[in-house]
Amino acid sequence: MSFSDGKNIMVYVETVSDIPVGGALEVLTKAHKLAEARGEEVIAVLIGRDLVDAARTAIMAGADKAVIVKKESYQMEEYGTVLTKLAEKFKPFLILSAGTLVGKDLLSLVAGTFHTGYTVDVMDISDRDERLIFTCPVYGGTILNDLVIKGTPAVAAVRPGAFVKELLAERTGKIMEEKVESEEAVHTRIVDVVKEMAEAVNLEEAEVIVSGGRGMGSKENFKLVEKLASACHGVVGATRPAIEAEWVPRSHQVGQSGKIVAPKLYIACGISGATQHVSGMVGSGYIVAVNKDEDAPIFDIADVGIVGDAVKVIPLLIEEIKKTRSL
Ligand code: FAD
């Protein structure tokens, strides 16, 4: 199934506690610019319980229409069916979502249903000669690929932090409620949801991340990373070896097999800068690295590099931050 006459951009707006996630708002702002240049519209789709305020936020971020479908909490088959049926109705040429776990999960079902091209981890979208070009990292972020997606609707999940959200209160749009039957698609039933405490960490939305690696040396020393994060009002990240040593839970892992992050400030302590880690944080606004090896690859991407023992440098940083805050 494909729409040769596809028009407009559809964006799935993921919500947590009925509030749109930051990545979805970033996608809406980018979609607005792309659609406006083509004289087309952005249709936001919100699925959940109580989403009128979220729909208003979606309009402020760039949606021309916000379609609300009332359903219980996220269930891939059900939400995917809703999105697919709305796509059949509105016939967009492009379907986007933030590249969160849910976004990627959901869009794979949508792309599969339409037998169309799907790409994830999109870092840029440009309109060249009336063709959309999707820029995506490959080989752990060492190369950026420009892709064209075959088939309509094209489907793409965007890396959180790739675009800047603009919330403009003066933007106007239409909020509509649609009823979509989806029960027939549900083959599994969620009986219970158990939340790990560690899941509360929201690295993708954090403005400041302080990460520690194997160079921190021990669980005891890793507490310095947590103290620095707290002094900066930031969130703790980690490399895979720090996770494997059980200094911090897995939900804090940044990198190719962890979370892709783009905070305003990323402080890397005792981290070498392996591509599998760097590919998850290279989009950060400002990178500070502390490493005792002056040739560590992390310094190649750092804006500020401190050569020294992290166990000695971090307490000094905390002291300086506290002094600045008390001024
Ligand atoms: P190391 O590479 O061992 O670096 C430690 C650094 O600390 C060194 O540069 C050293 O000079 C410095 N150091 C030592 N002592 C001190 C000190 N006292 N003060 C300051 N600096 C000090 N890794 C991830 O992080 N995230 C991923 O998602 C990920 N996914 C992967 C997926 C695959 C398929 C594979 C194969 C690997 C993956 N890895 C991932 C692992 C990755 O390849 C690296 O092994 C890892 O990132 C290295 O972590 P590190 O920098 O903590 O450790």
Q: What is the tens place of the pLDDT at every residue in 41-58?
A: 999 999 999 999 999 999
Q: Is 135's C-beta closer than 6 angstroms to any atom of ligand 1?
A: no
Q: Is 244's C-beta closer than 6 angstroms to any atom of ligand 1?
A: no
3-state SS class at 62: coil
Task: Write the Ramachandran bin of 17: left for phi over 0, alpha for psi from -120 to 50, otherwise beta.
Answer: left
CA of 73 to the centre of ligand 1 (A): 37
Q: Is 291's C-beta closer than 6 angstroms to any atom of ligand 1?
A: yes
CA distance 301 to 25: 28
Backbone angles phi, psi at 42, to 5 degrees: -110, 125
Q: Of 308, 311, 325, 196, nearest to 252 (Cα)?
A: 196
3-state SS class at 70: strand
pLDDT for position 137: 86
| Number of alpha carbons in the 13 Å side-chain half-sphere of residue 278 | 21
pLDDT for position 196: 64
Has this prediction a pTM greater than 0.75? Answer: no
Judge whether 313 and 291 are in contact, CB under 8 Å. no
| 5 secondary structure, DSSP code | T
Judge whether 278 and 271 are in contact, CB under 8 Å. no
pLDDT exceeding 90 applies to what percent of the chain? 76
Distances (CA, A) of 128 to 59, 122, 216: 26, 16, 46
Residue predicted with more confidence, 101 or 220: 220
Q: Is 274's C-beta closer than 6 angstroms to any atom of ligand 1?
A: yes
pLDDT for position 2: 58
Judge whether 69 and 49 are in contact, CB under 8 Å. no
Which atom of ligand 1 lies closest to the CA of 214?
Answer: 52
CA distance 151 to 143: 25
Q: Is 245's C-beta closer than 6 angstroms to any atom of ligand 1?
A: no
